[in-house]
Amino acid sequence: MNYLKGLVKRVNLNDFVSGSLIFLLICLLINGYLGRRAEPTPRAHDGILDLRSWDLVKQLVKLDGEWEFYWQQLLTPADFAPGNERANLSGMFVAPGSWKGYRWQDRKLTSEGFATFRLTLLLPETRQTLALSLPQIYTAYQLWADGELLCSAGRVGRSRAMMTPQYLQRVVPFQPQSSRVELVIQVSNFYHRRGGLWRPLQLGSFERVKREFDFQNIFGLLVMSSFLLMALYNLTLYKYLKSDPAPLYLGLFFLIGALRSVLVGRIFITQLYPNFPWELAMKLEYFTFYFCGPVFFRVMRCLYPKEIPAFFMRMIDGAAWLFLGFTILTPARIYSHFSPVFQFILLLSVAYIFFVLGRIAIKRREYLVLTVYMVIFLSLFNDVLFYNSLSQAEFPLIQFAENIIKLPFFPQGIPLGFISMVCFVFAFNLLTLIMIQRYFTGITSKAEGEISATAVAEHNLTAREAELVRYVVQGYSNKEIAEKLFITEGTVKSHLHKIYQKTGTKNRTELSHLVKR
């Protein structure tokens, strides 16, 4: 019993809550991974997707799997009519994916070219209007269903001069004429490092697809609004705390995030202005990607100037400016091929920063701060995964929110976007509070450092001893001073003994009074 009482006294509520959050995060990620593996989802085989046992009213289905692939052929539904020999099958294409690297006639395809994709859907008996949720298709397309042209984006062509790229995300309704529906998509790409059905197409009832599409739009606008509000908050904070640039960098980070939210994922800029220049949108998107990480690293550098070396910031800033200059001077068909190099640099930088800050947070027992860093760095990591279609979550923490609602005790009906946005906003607002705390602590330390300068001169204190005196004046214990200076508690006691001898004091109280005179 005495042991338990002592344990309770030693456990800090901050440590308990933050440790529980980290444990919950790990459990949810594991649970989500196992849950996704266990969920059976239909996939297309040999150009046929059997959905006869799938409820299209309750749940959307991704049109993933093997599509018929016709390389260097722009075919229409009429070309697949019985007796027509125009269609020459090149093989099966696994969607979502890019045709770059696809092996055809003993050679690997490049990103440039054109092709036709064909998929046959076997549907349940229904009279409901269905709809397709179409992502951006790289980089121009035309779509038919049951021989009817449903929609197009840009202009499909057989060469760069004959085509026009365009990204449009939309919901396209159609009424199936029978339980067998044929989808035909012409795609051409001469402008990007990806070509083909890089993002998954989704099918469901029109009401279900439209509701999901509208929710994602509303959620994206909420994210953009939250970013703008947090940018305004931090920039206002910087106006009054000009001695600390951390709020400035965090405000710029949120401004970049707000701009990025209209250029990536739902691409709101094209929904508001369908004819917005494609090349300009691409350059702005790459700008936000190149500077999102480095600006946030600047925030970390302001908070931990000793732990994060200056050469690291010069390296990441130099890489960002180098890739941005290359992006400005070259077209997308060239600079888009080099973005994976910067993604690799960013991943290494994120891993390094997280390792450094994680070690500091654990050593100082700042577990809640470590949780904040984990949320933020997972968001940056998710951004890289989304770029390479290794994650379908357009906004950070969406997958985390999906794992939360799988828990049996969690209330149903709460939107995923709301959960993820609350987590994201909470993390960054907590980071802002941390910066404010560090700012005022810095002011106090600076003032007390100036007071102790007289003692340093009069009593011949070393730099290490003066630093230790400042912590004594601020009321830190020997153990806390040891953690902050990364030394043992015995070394702290040894330093204090020498300081007492030099200053002629007997204890911490006399030393504090002497320094404050």
The answer, yes or no, to whether residue 325 has pLDDT greater than 50, is yes
Domain residues for the domain of 296 are 10-38+209-436
- pLDDT by residue (tens digit) across 223-259? 788 888 888 888 887 887 776 788 888 889 889 988 8
Which of residues 170, 186, 206 is at a domain's end?
A: 206
Which pLDDT does position 339 carry in this prediction? 85
The answer, yes or no, to whether residue 510 has pLDDT greater than 60, is yes
Same-domain pairing of 218 and 324: yes
- Quickly state the pLDDT bin for 10 (edges 50, 70, 90): very low
Our count of domains for the chain comes to 3
Average pLDDT over residues 337-341: 87
CATH classification of the domain holding 155 = 2.60.120.260
Percentage above 90 pLDDT, the chain:
26
Q: How far apart are CA 480 and CA 470, in angstroms?
A: 13
Which pLDDT does position 394 carry in this prediction? 52
Task: Give whichever of 308-317, 480-489, 502-511 has the largest mean pLDDT.
Answer: 308-317
Same-domain pairing of 265 and 387: yes
Q: Is the model more confident about 262 or about 324?
A: 324
CATH classification of the domain holding 503 = 1.10.10.10
Q: How far apart are CA 50 and CA 56, in angstroms?
A: 12
With tokens 């509303």, the residue in question is 218
Same-domain pairing of 166 and 245: no
On average, the pLDDT of the chain sits at 78
Q: With H, G, I as helix, E, B as strand and everything else as coil, classify residue 106.
A: coil
For the record, the structure tokens of 257 come out as 């995030």
3-state helix, strand, coil split of the chain in percent (to 5) is 55, 15, 30
Contact 52, 122 (CB under 8 A): yes
Average pLDDT over residues 297-325: 88
The answer, yes or no, to whether residue 446 has pLDDT greater than 60, is no
Which of residues 404, 436, 468 is at a domain's end?
A: 436
